[in-house]
Structure 1
């Protein structure tokens, strides 16, 4: 399974991060440990939403959509 997820910074709640992974239980602690340069400065993070996909390419396509302008609007209206 592949997971597309949204994290929200606990200390900076206006900051959100969208990612994709095969191992969500491992990935979130990595973000909170500062192992990702994209999320290190806004840690700690909390998981606010995720979705599972059986197909890697569909998961990565949905992640890309959520990172687009229209995808961010969708996220604000429907997922956050």
Structure 2
């Protein structure tokens, strides 16, 4: 999960290469996050399968990133 202090927004996604994905977000190569640069990695988790990661991503997006982080005791 990424956070933008400039736009005060969260971004939730899944990838198999975290460093590369974060670079793409911060270099403006990703249209959905282009306006929030710089993005800061605030939370991540690893899963054994991509389908498991996608299910958690959907759960987070339905709940909302900030509420999900509150639910797991992040704040």
TM superposition score normalised by structure 2: 0.85
Unmatched segments (≥5 aa) in structure 2: none
Cα displacement string for residues 27-75 of structure 1 (whole angstroms, at most 9, x for unaligned residues) = 0010001111110011110100000011110000000100003665222
Give the strand-richer structure, 1 or 2.
1
- 1:22 aligned onto 2:10: no
Structure 1, unaligned runs of 5 or more? 1-5
Query: What's the C-alpha RMSD, in Å, of the aligned pairs?
Result: 1.8
Closer, same or farther: CA 51–41 of 1 in aligned 2, 3 Å: same
**Count of residue pairs the alignment pairs up:** 74
